[in-house]
Every structure is written in structure tokens, then in C-alpha cells.
Amino acid sequence: MRRDYQSSPAASGADMEWLALAEYWRGRSLAGCFQEDPERARRYRADVAGLHVDWSRQFIDEASRDRLLGLADGAGFHAWREALFAGEPINRSEGRPALHMALRGGSERDWRAAGEAVSGLVARELEAMAGFVESLHHGRQGAGGKPIRHVVNIGIGGSHLGPEMLVKALPAAEQAPAVHFLSNVDPDQADRLLGGLDPAETLFLIVSKTFTSKETMENAAIARRWIAEALGEEAVATHFAAVSTAPDKVAGFGIPADSTFRFWDWVGGRYSLWSAAGLAAVVHLGMPAFRALLEGAAEMDRHFEQAPDQENLPLLLGLLDVQSVSAFGWPVWAVVPYADRLRLLPHYLQQLVMESNGKSVNQDGQAVSIDCAPVLLGGIGTDAQHAFFQLLHQGPSPVPVDFIAAARPAGSPDESAMARHRILLANCLAQGEALCHGRLLSDVEMELAEAGVAEEVVRYLAPQKAFPGNRPSNLILMESMGPRTLGALIALYEHRVFVQACLWGINPFDQMGVELGKQLAKRAETFLDGTPDDQVLDPAMRQQMGWLSRQWNR
């Protein structure tokens, strides 16, 4: 376990405590922990909101858990959590609360965002969404009288990843139109998608918190032209709906108020799938399933807010995440769902984790003095076993893994499907075991020798076949692949990310790091459209643009 805290220029008390934790675990093994504590597998697991979570293969014991909880205390975690749920403007750089829990918390609670009562707003918006979805499921007609059979979500980042992930994860409600996603400004995506659709049967849902994202606005303009050319300008009002915090801009686009759905600036983009920003997913799932999703997330919220620290799942897992990065120096984190339906979960989590915590400056503007900011790697099992698992097992540095699986497949599986599901689960369980226990060099040597392999061959082959083991993982089992458990799972990750941020002292709710690229792209665009200005462009950019213009002028 590498980490030289001494080299940190501003080693604070907490930094030293992470160093001490690394020392505490130096030379100890996970296998040894299981031998020392026969109750371990039972001690480090919990059942919350349809999830069975096991973190016994992490570097934790009773003493270190208390030290981790002490670190949370020292970082002001309890005060931060209280401020989060109270709707205080904890997103300091933008002066906003981050109250996504109010979107799923029900109207029995008086949720307040910066003092303003919001439960009623949320309930009204849910009703409006229900009416819209109902109309689509009951043959809502386009301008030419044909029923809408295709809904295209135009949005990017938080206005795309969550809804698409849900559409892939959960079954369609009866009579739901097909839902498609247009996120990339790459013309290929729009051309291929629109080429297969009939304008008379297509409704576009423009989802943008700001209603300014370049990619979204370009795609919306293309879609608008496509509809207007096929059905006439007046059809725009019927074939478009929008979700935004900027209703004036939506009206300017020509979308009527009764097709405009709202969310609020206290909902971060990557925390918005619970709001009207998730509307495309609601069109696919239907309102009852969406409400079950919200309820699952709300159960996790209640647990996070109320469960004692020693049993608090997001708190404990978040602390272990920080330990991996800040004490052990393992910056990469893998999330591997053994469920084809969760194929897009790692993409979704990449934005949640890295746009939230991919920072190295704390809330006070000072550099964080320890390793922070996990890098999330992901893919579905078993496919990922044949892609990046080699590195997980034998790479030089451990990569903590979250394995996710459901007890049974979606729908009503027959015996054949259950048999294949058992193979899937067997793989999932085996990977965690292999990472934890590894394979001793002496065992490999013995095996090879017993198989009659020559001694000199054993000498070079055995080290290549041995596994170091002692690599941590969590196992998250879902009762079923249904909306309630999925809601709880996503909320679990949201709160873990919050806990990580508290411990690092960073603001997980802004995303200043994506702005510079956007600004420079705007400038580059003007030069690509016209004459590059040699005074302004850096030499690499000048050279690259030169090559492009030679290609275009050939």
C-alpha cells in the first residue's frame, strides 16, 4: 500500500490519520481477517430497501471502522448531511441547495430548498408528467392525426444518461411509444436516428436544465427543421415538449406552456433523473414504475438520514471508498453489474462520480492535500471478465470493485433462464473470491510439478499464474431487477459520492471543470468556420486546423 503522506505539503490531522490507517493495514490480509473473525461475513453486511450489501471483503474491522467514523465526524459529516436534507445552499460556488431527495421524498414532508417550500411544486409536476405520459400511452396524436409512436429525448449529460440508463434497465409499459436518445452533436447520430423515423409519428422531448447546451440546442434545431419541413411550422407546437429550469427560453423555441415541464436550480443535472428530466424514462416505464423507483430511492434517503453511523450503508461504503483512494493510493474504482439491463449504469455513474468529485480544490479554494477523486471504470459481467479483469487480478495495483447482481432475472424466467442466471451469478461470486484470496505461488508450483512440468518451466510459468489476492470488493445483490431496488441502488451511489466529498472537503455539486473546454470549443468553432487567427491560436491548434482545411480544400 503506497502513500507518502510526509510529502504532502499541507498534511493536516486528517491526512495523518489516513496515513495511520494505511499503516494499520500494512502487512495484513483480507484472508487473515476472515480467519481472525469468524463472524466477519455476517458482521459487514446489511439489507436496505431490497438491496443486500456485503462489504466484508474490504479493509475494515471494528477498530478501523471506528477510526473511519471518527474521520467522518472530524470532517463535519453530520452537519453536512443535516444541511443537505434541510435544503441549505451547500453548493457554495453556485449558491444553491442540492435537494434531489425532495423529488422522491413525498409531500408528507415539508421539503424546503433555501427556505422555499417545494413539496407542492414537486407533486404538481409529477401530476403534469403523469397526464402527459397517460396521453402518449393512449394514442396522443401528432399534427397529421397519426398517433405518436416514437419519442426522442434530446439532451446530454445529466439530461440524457439517467433516462437512457432507466430505459435500458426496466421493461416498457404496455402501449408505451419507443423511446430514443439524441445526445451527440455528431451529425451521424441524428442522421441515423431520424432516417428511421416518420415525422408524423415522432415527438421530441428537449431536456436541458439551462436550455443552452450547445449540443442539445443544435440537435433541437435540426429536429425542428425536420418537423417543420415535413409537417409545416405550425406542427412544432404539437411535436415538441421540453423539460427545463428556463421556461422562457423554452417558450422562445415555440413550445407551449402545457408541453413544458419544470425542474429547479436546486436539482443538479446529474441528480435530475428523479425530476421531469427523467420524463423520457417515464414515457417508457409508465408512472407506477417511476413512482416505485422514487420510493426505492426515498427508502435509501431515509436510511442515510436516520440509520446509526455503524449501520449506515452509504456512510460506511463512502468511507471505504475514501480509504481506498486516500489511505491506500488506489485511485481507480470498478463497478461491474452482472446484468445486461444495467449495461449503462457504469456510464451513468461515471458522470455522477467524476463530475461530482473529480476535483482537487476544496470548498475554501485550497488544494486538497491527499489523494482524492476516484476514476470509475465499468462494464457488465461477464463481458468485462474478457476485457479488463486481467488487470484487476494481476495488475500492479488493486482496483476495488463493486459487483452488482440481481437474485433473479427480470420478468418471469423459465427454468432455462434461471439456469443461465445461475451461471451469471456463479461468475459474479467467483470473481470476488478470486480477488480476495488470490492464488499462492507455492500452490501453482506444486500443481505444475504434479502435472509433470519441467522444473525450469515451472520457475518462469508459476509467477505468471499466481494471483496476489488481497484485493477488496463490495457485493451488492438486488432482490429483483425492478424499479424499487434500482431506485435504492442509484440513491446509494449518490449518497456515497456525497460522503466522499465531505471527507475530501470538496463541493460535489458544481462542475466548473467542464466549462473551459466549452469556451475554447466556441472559439475553435469560429476559426473552423472562417479564417484561423495565427495571433490567437496556439501552435498545435494552428497545425491541426491547417491539416483540416487542407483536407476540406482537396
Catalytic residues: 355, 386, 518
Residues comprising the chain, all counted? 554
Nearest-angstrom CA–CA distance, 519 and 151:
31
Rg (CA), the chain: 26
**Contact partners, residue 294, CB within 8 Å, separation at least 6:** 103, 104, 274, 487
CA dihedral 337, 342, 344, 349 (to 10 degrees): -60
For residue 357, state whether it binds ligand F6P (rule: CB under 6 A).
no
Q: Tell me how far CA of residue 513 lies from CA of 27, 177, 339, 354, 493, in angstroms.
A: 38, 37, 32, 10, 21
CB 284 within 8 A of CB 294: no
For residue 374, state whether it binds ligand F6P (rule: CB under 6 A).
no
State the nearest-atom distance from the C-beta of 213 to ligand F6P, in Å: 3
For residue 159, state whether it binds ligand F6P (rule: CB under 6 A).
yes
For residue 213, state whether it binds ligand F6P (rule: CB under 6 A).
yes
Question: Which of 303, 353, 312, 336 has the alpha carbon at shortest distance from 494?
Answer: 353
> What is the bridge-based pairing of β-strands 240-244 and 260-262?
parallel
For residue 511, state whether it binds ligand F6P (rule: CB under 6 A).
yes
Choice from 142, 269, 398, 482 touching ligand F6P (CB under 6 A): 269
For residue 482, state whether it binds ligand F6P (rule: CB under 6 A).
no
Continuous H helices in 86-159: 119-137
> What is the bridge-based pairing of β-strands 150-154 and 51-54?
unpaired
For residue 514, state whether it binds ligand F6P (rule: CB under 6 A).
yes
For residue 326, state whether it binds ligand F6P (rule: CB under 6 A).
no
For residue 153, state whether it binds ligand F6P (rule: CB under 6 A).
no
For residue 507, state whether it binds ligand F6P (rule: CB under 6 A).
no
State the nearest-atom distance from the C-beta of 355 to ligand F6P, in Å: 6
CA dihedral 380, 385, 386, 391 (to 10 degrees): 120
Choice from 183, 208, 219, 259 touching ligand F6P (CB under 6 A): 208
State the nearest-atom distance from the C-beta of 518 to ligand F6P, in Å: 8
For residue 216, state whether it binds ligand F6P (rule: CB under 6 A).
yes
Residue 76: DSSP 8-state: T
For residue 260, state whether it binds ligand F6P (rule: CB under 6 A).
no
State the nearest-atom distance from the C-beta of 159 to ligand F6P, in Å: 4
Using the contact rule CB under 6 A, the part of the chain among 35-43, 135-143, 203-211, 295-303 near ligand F6P is 203-211
Choice from 57, 96, 239, 270 touching ligand F6P (CB under 6 A): 270
Using the contact rule CB under 6 A, the part of the chain among 99-107, 209-217, 381-389, 441-449 near ligand F6P is 209-217
Residues that bind ligand F6P (CB under 6 A): 156-159, 208-210, 213, 216, 269-270, 355, 511, 514
